[in-house]
Structure 1
Amino acid sequence: MVTHAQAWDSTRERRISSLAQPKVNHQIICNRISVYWTDKLPSKTHRFTVPVLTPRQAELSRSKKIYRGFEENRSFPMWPVSVASRHAVASPRVKELAHPKLVSNAWEADWPVYTRVSKGAMTAAARERTTQLAKPKKRDFSAKQDAPPTPPQSITQFTRTAYLARPKTEHPSYLHDKPIRWAVSAGARNAVMSARLSELARPKVRKQIFEGYNPYRISSAALHTEASARLQELSIPQRVRKKR
């Protein structure tokens, strides 16, 4: 009979022998046998896998059956019509749906690419008011400095285009950036600061939170105040009953 001490010694020896074995180097690439062959290399002619369909795949690959009542090709262009079809009467709803759709009254056909000008438009004479509105708007730059000259009254298409092509000028009130160094006027150099400006120019003195704070100081209003009747009533100490 194996005692407990003997069993412990055998287990200890097996554990020590397993820990004493060297670690396996998994970085060595072994020549593993392919899953398709085990004893020899496959032939070069048939080096592909033959697909095998499952019963479900074979069922799905079958063509769809045509409905029995459907006739793909009729034998003759004329075929007999049933008695019910010959004596059928259309309902009011079917007659209403059989009417062609009417075109909306607001629909207009597309205009042709080349518009035809009527004789009245070709021989029309513009009125004085139409001629006045057709003239370009004139701008008055007399009150501004360095303003572009106004276009002449009798202007043509070329002169109008050249006038509009001119670059935009700067506004007379526009101020450019000051230079880094500029001359200081004599009035600014000899200016004398007033008392108010001296007062405003002084930096504001900021104190700490509790700087100059006296917690025992009582204000004059608190010294001359009088308590109300309610405060006097609340300030009376309550009687404490002794426990028996």
Structure 2
Amino acid sequence: MATKSATSEGRIGSLANPKSVPLTFQEDRRSVYWVDRLPPTAGPHGTTEIIASARVQELAKHRTPNQHGWRGDRPTPIWGVSEGAQRADAGPRLVSLSQHKEPHPRYLFDRTAYMTVNEGAKNATSTERLGMLCRPKDRRDRDKFGVISLETSWGQYNPVSPAAKSAQCTSHVESLAEPKKYHPRFAGEKPVQWSVDESALKAIANLRLQQLSRPRSRTMIKDDYDPYKVPMAARRAHATPRIEELCLPIPRKVRPKKVV
């Protein structure tokens, strides 16, 4: 028991000890104005000197060009030509490539403004058909509906042919040319002003007409009238055989019900 208690006291004692501070621990500054080191000063040349590592100095170097076959730009666009290049003779292939491109064999160049007319064209005579086609076409005014008017574009009227002047129409054309007659019971428009006859001025309304023209009295108005209420007579009414016949659907539109 004594050994066990001593062991427990040693464990509790080790846990009760405060945590040790690591060797690299830096205590917080007591104030933001605490200066633990002096700021960098100017070097001997009056400027701040920065000491770079070897790796930074290596990365700061410019990239070296390729050493295998790379040559820089020529110092000047004018350079001397060698004697061999001056006395060289071009081969057949180089001569063929140096020639300009030939046009198409069937290509026709622009014709000049000055040309000679051959004797055949000078002595040629036109045919009768060509002379008929060369005549100017009669110009006639057409309105937006495509109807040809009698007056031309120069204000001249087309003359009527003698055959049209002496033509006689048939009996059927004369019957069609007659205007359509009005219906026997047709009545024209009534004038805005007309005279009233003496009988209408002296007429006296009968008793039934006076009753219908009288306005409805307030005592006959029903406040509890419901226009949507169906009366009992309409409920008990029976349709006649004719109405039932008219209510039947058309036979060709009647389809039998499908039974599933």
TM above 0.5:
no
Aligning the two structures, in what range does the TM-score lie when normalised by the shorter sequence? under 0.3
TM normalised by structure 2 equals 0.24
Q: Which structure is richer in relative contact order (CA contacts within 8 A, separation 6 or more)?
A: 1
TM normalised by structure 1 equals 0.25
Asked which structure has the greater CA Rg, the reply is 2
